[in-house]
Amino acid sequence: MKVHIKRWHAIAQWRWDTGAADADMDDGDDGEGDVCGICRVPYEGCCPSCKMPGDDCPLIWGECTHVFHMHCLLKWIGTAASKQQCPMDRRAWVTAERKVATTGS
């Protein structure tokens, strides 16, 4: 039997590169993938203050390796109660420099 493909739709998916090993495999039962620990919305969603996911609601990485929506983390760090500590491990928050892969590797 021969199959002729007459038409096809390309569908793209994007994900933040959080450095988590096998992020694709890590979807869990809810299929939501990893969530921001502060708002509990998936990284690929946006923080509660934003309407559109993507470049306008980016992630932020700490040197402690913890990742949050940037807006969520900044709201926390902006409070006196935070003592400028990471919500996960209470170490002093230091934003990590992210090396962006430009060669598409």
Partner 1 sequence: MGSISARRLAKEYKELNSDECPVGIKLLQADDFETWIIAIEVLGETLYKDEKFALKFRFDPQYPISSPAVQFVVDEKYQAPLHPHVYSNGHICASILGEGWSPVLSVPAVCVTLQSMLASCKKKERPEGNDRYVRFAPDNPKKTKFMYDDDTV
Which of 24, 30 has the CB closer to partner 1? 30
Residue 41 in the binding site for partner 1 (CB under 8 A):
yes
Q: Which of residues 21-40 bind partner 1 (CB under 8 A)?
A: 37-40
Asked if 52 touches partner 1 (CB under 8 A), the answer is no
Which positions ≥6 away from 89 have C-beta within 8 Å? Answer: 64, 66
The 65-84 site mask, x for binding partner 1 (CB under 8 A), equals: -------x--xx--x-x---
**78 vs 104 by CB, closer to partner 1:** 78
Q: How far is the CB of 93 from partner 1 (least distance, A)?
A: 12
- DSSP secondary structure of 34-93: -B-TTT--BTTS--TT-SS-STTS-EEEBTTS-EEEHHHHHHHHTSGGGTTB-TTT-PBP
Q: Whole-angstrom Cα distance, residue 90 to residue 87? A: 6
Asked whether the beta carbons of 37 and 87 are under 8 A apart, the reply is yes
Q: Quick check: 59 binds partner 1 (CB under 8 A)? A: no
Binding positions for partner 1, rule: CB under 8 A: 37-41, 48-49, 72, 75-76, 79, 81, 87-88, 90
